[in-house]
Amino acid sequence: MVWITRIGEPLGGLSRMRLKKLEIAGFKSFKDKTQFHFSNGISAIVGPNGCGKSNVVDAIRWVMGEQRVKSLRGKKMDDVIFNGSDEAAPVGMAEVTIIFEKNGRQFPGQYADCSEIMISRRLYREGDSEYSINKVPCRLLDVREFFMDTGVGAKTYSIVEQESISRLIEAKPEDIREFIEEAAGIKKYKSRRESAMRKMDSTKQNIARLKDILSEVKTQLNSTSRQAKRAERYRELKKEIKENELALSLQAYIELGHEKDRLKTSRESLDHNSLEIQTSLTAMAAGMENLKEKLAENEEIIGRLQERFYNCKNEINIGEQKIDFLKGKISDIASRKKKNLSDVDTFQQRKDSMEREVIILQGLISETETKITELRDFITGTQGDSDSSRAIEADLLAQLEQRRSESFSIITEHARLKNLMNSLTKGIEDINKKIEREERDLQDQTEKIATARKARATTAQDLESVKERIDLLKERERITRRHIEEIRNNLELIEETIEELKGEISLKSSRLASLKELQEGYEGCNEGTKSVLQARRDGILDIDGVLGLVADHIRVPKEYEAAVEAVLGEKLQYVVVKSHHDGMEAIDYLKKHSSGRGHFVPLNIRNHFIQSNVPDNLVDVVRLDRFIEVKENYREIIESLIGDVLVIPDLTMGVSLWRRNGFVGTFVTRDGDVISPNGILMGGSGSGGGNSRLRTNREIDELERDMHRLSAPLECETERKRSESRLLAELTDEHDEIRSKIHALELTFNSRKKDIERFEGEISWLEQRINVLIFNKESLEQEERDAREKILQIEHDIRLCADREQEATRTIATLQERWSAVKAELEAKEKNLTEKKILLSSLEEKINSHTVASKRLRAAIADLTDEIESAILDAERSDTEAATIADTIKSEEQRLEYMYRDHDAIEEELVRKREIHNETDKVLRDRESEAGEEKRHLDSMTKELAQIDMDIQEARLHMETLKRGSYEKFHADLTALAPNFTGLDEQQVKALRLNLERDRQKVEDFGEVNLLALSEHEELKERYDFLTSQVDDLNTSIATLQKTINKMNRVSKKRFSETFESVNQCFQVVYPRLFPGGKGELRLTDESNVLESGIDIDIQVPGKKKQNITLLSGGEKALSAVALIFAILMHKPSPFLILDEVDAALDDSNVSLFKNLIREISEKSQVIFVTHNKRTMEVADNLFGITMEKRGITTTVTVSMN
């Protein structure tokens, strides 16, 4: 093996790198992210069938740029994305990342400074694909160029699969060659050479096209020069028209600007006045609000004064009644004092009497003992009656006092109710006044809202009318716009048709001009003929009898051109002359000027051929002159030249006919094969010199007919275009006019809409004001109703109080009478009882003893004394009480005097406030009237402002229309031009209009002008120059490409030859190692063409003769393919080698040989293989176990054998 390694060393200066890591996520059965860390040496991927081992190889192939879905064992590219399983959902992306590290040598190209290279590829289920190198997005081409000539790639010998083993050994020689080219490092040269060849072919085609285009452009350049001059004059006229129209537009624009400024000034003045009025109205409103507030305050003060007035009056009444009551009480006290004083006298008399009785009793004790029993019985009976009467008298007195208190309350309530009724009556009067004022306001507001509603209705009708007009105009605009679009579409179609016709005519015209140029230049004619005809055309040769070439006077169908050319040959270039004399003059001219020789055919040529019909025995044979069109004057010439020529189907038939004799003449086929009368055969491929002349004449006739045929529809389409253009202009003007009307109406519509909004706002405010007034009125009416109801209730209560007062008075009088009677009776009874008691006491005293009687009398006298004292004290108290009541009366009278004064003051203040209120109310009405007048004035000014706004908007619209029209028509900005424009007077404007009309008339009279002629002429000139330079550049490019191709061919040939010899030597060494005693050799299929030759494999299996490779067994094919791969690897080691179950067809002995080769290859290349063979696994340094713990999802287990 040392010798084999040495053979591979000369081309060993390649990029060496090592596969460090492989990351797979979402690729085929690898749902989750899985990493493979590869070390130096040999790595084996093992596992049961169907667990995803080959998916690892597919992932490596895929990330290296594999685009063939079939090679990845799929039908479409998104089949590589994990599609889910029973236990997992599908994923949306497949991603594979492969990481290489440099192994003693630098990476190629721009990656030389990198220690590691990471290449990634992603594919999304939506179809998007991404490539990146070192996480930088890149192209597929970048990935392929990175692997180019390293022996590594999706289609190289570094990845060998089980299925590709048999295909490799049975591949075509051209396919086997690709492996040698990869090892030789010339694939990039081949790719570049093919690209250069394609570029060179494309460049040659471009040169051919450019030459045709140059010829055509030159013809068009000559044609457009005249049109360009006419277009220049037309452009000058259009420029003058543009300048005049622009000047008039500027004049109108400036005048409209002045008018707009004037309107703006007027509007500002009106705005100022309107603002003053609004300010005045605001001040008036504020003043009226102040007056209203003052009115409200006065009403509130009047109310409070009215309440104070009634309260004061009520208190006065109460005070007067209280004084009356107190005076009555003083009278009662005086009566009681008088009674007490009377009782004192009585008691005094009784005391005196008792004293006398004591004296008498002392003398009469004995006399009264008999009367004691009677007296005691009488006293006992009388005492009970007296107690009963005293109880009745106390009860009657309590009732009387109670009735008097109730009467006082009734009197007080009666006075209060009267005062309240008076207050309510006055309040009703005030409410009625307020209701009258609210009704007046309500009537005014109702009239105002009626006026506003009427104005709104009128404005709404105007608005609806304007809207209907706008809708009608918009419908007209839509219809017009649709017509415009239809006409524009028609114009586009017409223009397309015209362009197609013009293009076709231009092509045919260009072709016709080229052909006529060839015809007039007499291309293909000999020197003498060309000299005579050109001298005749240029007037140098003054011979009227020169009539042109024979070929110019005949018309031959296309299918017989070859036959006529073959028969006549150079005779087509014979010059037709009127007579022999003319021919001799022409010959003299040629001799004189040494211009060559020529043939001249006179019209009166002598025809030696006797016309005869075709013999009957010549079937399917026709005379050639029947197919030729020729003028009558020249028919003898044609008959003399081809009168004996017959057209035959083919040479076989012609020879047969010639052999029969019976006809002396020439036979010719449609293809131009000729049999002369002597039997000489002429034929083959190609055409004679006159062939192009006949074809040129025929093509010229066809082109002239085609151009005549195309001219009519072109004129028709052009007329249609003019008609449609005029109609389009009319519709465009109509559309612009409609747009202007719509705009004006929209302004009116917006103005009316604003008026309606203003009216609606005013109506809304008036409705709110009316609602407030109605609410106030209803509230006042309700207050009036409530007051009247209260008055009725109070009147009823007053009547009840009066009745109760009368009843109380009657009750008091009755009780007073009863009390007086009971009291008188009681006093009588008590007096009688007292007398009896005194008598009894006296008698008892007399009876018991003089001392006891005396004591008893004294006791009685003491009692009387006490009663007298009590009566005197009661009289004294009565004086004190009467004095107190008198003081109270005096105090009440003084308070009443103050209250009288307050009453008068309040009444005067109330009258004064009412007068002030009436005056303020009058001022408010006057102010409201003034405000209404100002508001009407403001409304008038608002309408005037709206009209000015419409005028300003109209002026602005006209200015915008002029500005837009000028920009659309002239691409001129009137706003920018206006400051530098000098205004025109009427004479100048009139002169401009006259000049404009004159120029427009000139333009109309100018006719059809190709406005594009100037630009077309310039473009054609530039294009002609550009195409000429392009042709030169392309010729230079072809020369450069040819040199590059030749250089790449030399390098590729040298490298391929060296590599082929080296690989062939390696193959001859490796093959016997796998097949001891066998032979293997590589052979070029075409040694004379090394660059394109395929490669055959000659194999002789030990013990067998050389045989066809297809007859080998599966194991023999596999070993043969492995031998070729290993031979290439020994010549040019790949950074890594991936083998996918290539040992499947090998038996144990061959596996041992296979293992030995793998060990040797692993010394220079990293080896990764997929296998089921346990003996093959023994050679591995690392094992990657592939399994499926979950159904459909691949997982891995890594084992290091070291």
Q: Could you report the per-residue pLDDT of 1101-1115, keeping only the tens digit for each?
A: 776 766 666 667 767
Work out the pLDDT band at 131, boundaries 50, 70, 90: very high
Give the residue, 1017 or 478, on which the prediction is more confident: 478
In this model, does residue 1090 exceed pLDDT 50? yes
User: What does residue 1186 show for φ and ψ, rounded to 5 degrees?
Assistant: -110, 125
In this model, does residue 2 exceed pLDDT 60? no
Using CA atoms, how far residue 27 sits from 98, 114, 140, 863, in Å, is 13, 28, 19, 143
Q: Are 1133 and 1102 in contact (CB under 8 A)?
A: no
Residues 1019/1022/1026/1029 CA torsion (nearest 10 deg): 160
Q: What Rg, from alpha-carbon coordinates, does the chain have?
A: 72
Q: Tens of pLDDT along 618-668?
A: 556 788 778 888 877 788 887 778 777 888 888 888 787 777 765 677 888
Which whole number is the average pLDDT over 532-537? 79
What does the DSSP assignment read for 870-928? HHHHHHHHHHHHHHHHHHHHHHHHHHHHHHHHHHHHHHHHHHHHHHHHHHHHHHHHHHH
Using CA atoms, how far residue 457 sits from 97, 593, 752, 757, 941, in Å, is 81, 107, 11, 12, 21
Q: Are 395 and 879 in contact (CB under 8 A)?
A: no
Which whole number is the average pLDDT over 859-882? 76
Distance CA 1139, CA 60 (A): 12
Point out which residues pair with 1167 in neighbouring strands: 42, 1137
For the chain, helix (H) and strand (E) counts, in that order, are 19, 24
Q: Give the pLDDT score at 369.
A: 61
1186 three-state secondary structure: strand
Q: Give the pLDDT score at 167.
A: 65
Which whole number is the average pLDDT over 193-219? 75
What secondary structure letter does DSSP report for 30? B
Q: Where are the domains of the chain?
A: 2-172+1048-1200, 549-612+622-681
Q: Are 181 and 1053 in contact (CB under 8 A)?
A: no
Work out the pLDDT band at 607, boundaries 50, 70, 90: low
Residue 549, C-beta contacts closer than 8 angstroms, at least 6 positions apart:
522, 525, 529, 533, 572, 573, 574, 575, 576, 693
Residue 746, C-beta contacts closer than 8 angstroms, at least 6 positions apart:
470
Using CA atoms, how far residue 957 sits from 746, 855, 953, in Å, is 12, 140, 6
Q: Give the pLDDT score at 97.
A: 94
Work out the pLDDT band at 349, boundaries 50, 70, 90: confident
Point out which residues pair with 596 in neighbouring strands: none
Q: Give the pLDDT score at 15.
A: 43
Distance CA 888, CA 98 (A): 126
Work out the pLDDT band at 1010, boundaries 50, 70, 90: low
In this model, does residue 451 exceed pLDDT 80? yes
Report the relative pairing of strands 93-102 and 17-25 from DSSP bridges: antiparallel
Residue 860: CB atoms within 10 A of its CB come to 22
The percent of residues above 70 in pLDDT, for the chain, comes to 87
Q: Give the pLDDT score at 22.
A: 92
Which whole number is the average pLDDT over 278-290? 78
In this model, does residue 253 exceed pLDDT 80? no
Which whole number is the average pLDDT over 1090-1098? 79
Distance CA 510, CA 506 (A): 6
In this model, does residue 162 exceed pLDDT 50? yes
Q: Tens of pLDDT along 371-389?
A: 666 766 777 777 777 777 7
Q: Tens of pLDDT along 72-113?
A: 788 888 888 988 887 788 888 999 999 988 877 777 777 778
Work out the pLDDT band at 824, boundaries 50, 70, 90: confident
Q: Tens of pLDDT along 387-430?
A: 777 777 778 777 777 777 777 677 777 777 777 787 778 778 87
Quote the tokens at residue 12.
Answer: 């060993």
Q: Give the pLDDT score at 3.
A: 32
Q: How far is CA 537 from the centre of its chain?
A: 73
Distance CA 979, CA 848 (A): 157
In this model, does residue 319 exceed pLDDT 70? yes
Quote the tokens at residue 515.
Answer: 């052909």
Q: What angle do CA 1135, 1139, 1144 make, to 5 degrees?
A: 160
Name which of 175, 153, 190, 186 is nearest 68 in CA terms. 153
Which whole number is the average pLDDT over 744-753? 80
Work out the pLDDT band at 590, boundaries 50, 70, 90: confident
What number of CA atoms fall less than 13 Å from residue 278's CA on the CB side? Answer: 10
Q: Tens of pLDDT along 208-248?
A: 777 777 777 777 666 666 667 777 777 777 777 777 777 77
Positive/negative CA dihedral, 258, 262, 264, 265: positive
Distance CA 169, CA 1115 (A): 12
In this model, does residue 61 exceed pLDDT 80? yes
Residue 899, C-beta contacts closer than 8 angstroms, at least 6 positions apart:
312, 315, 316, 319
Distance CA 1135, CA 19 (A): 8
Name which of 110, 146, 119, 128 is nearest 62 in CA terms. 119
Task: Report the top-level CATH class of 2-172+1048-1200.
Answer: alpha beta
Tell me which residue has tokens 């399917």.
620
How far is it between the farthest Cα atoms of the chain? 237
Amino acid at 417: L
In this model, does residue 721 exceed pLDDT 90? no
Tell me which residue has tokens 């192209």.
139
Positive/negative CA dihedral, 112, 113, 115, 118: negative
With b meaning 16 or more CB within 10 Å and e meaning fewer, what string describes 770-808? beebeebbeebeebbeebeebbeebeebbeebeebbeeb
Positive/negative CA dihedral, 549, 555, 556, 558: positive
Give the residue, 609 or 754, on which the prediction is more confident: 754
Q: Give the pLDDT score at 739.
A: 79
Residue 312, C-beta contacts closer than 8 angstroms, at least 6 positions apart:
899, 902, 903, 906
Q: Give the pLDDT score at 979.
A: 76
Name which of 60, 52, 57 is nearest 82 in CA terms. 52
Q: Give the pLDDT score at 226.
A: 66
Work out the pLDDT band at 120, boundaries 50, 70, 90: very high
Q: Give the pLDDT score at 95.
A: 93
Work out the pLDDT band at 163, boundaries 50, 70, 90: low
With b meaning 16 or more CB within 10 Å and e meaning fewer, what string describes 662-690? ebebbbbbbebbbbeeeeeeeeeeeebeb
Quote the tokens at residue 430.
Answer: 């005030």
In this model, does residue 9 exceed pLDDT 70? no
Which whole number is the average pLDDT over 1109-1123? 72
Which whole number is the average pLDDT over 559-579? 83
Q: Give the pLDDT score at 697.
A: 80
Distance CA 667, CA 681 (A): 10
In this model, does residue 152 exceed pLDDT 80? no
Tell me which residue has tokens 């013990």.
1103
Which whole number is the average pLDDT over 128-152? 81
Is 1.20.1060 the CATH classification of the domain at 549-612+622-681? yes
Point out which residues pair with 1196 in neighbouring strands: 1186
The percent of the chain in helix, strand and coil, each rounded to the nearest 5, is 75, 10, 20
SS (H, E, C) 414-452: HHHHHHHHHHHHHHHHHHHHHHHHHHHHHHHHHHHHHHH
In this model, does residue 303 exceed pLDDT 70? yes
Amino acid at 497: T
Which whole number is the average pLDDT over 744-773? 80
Distance CA 986, CA 928 (A): 55
Residue 652, C-beta contacts closer than 8 angstroms, at least 6 positions apart:
none
Work out the pLDDT band at 689, boundaries 50, 70, 90: very low
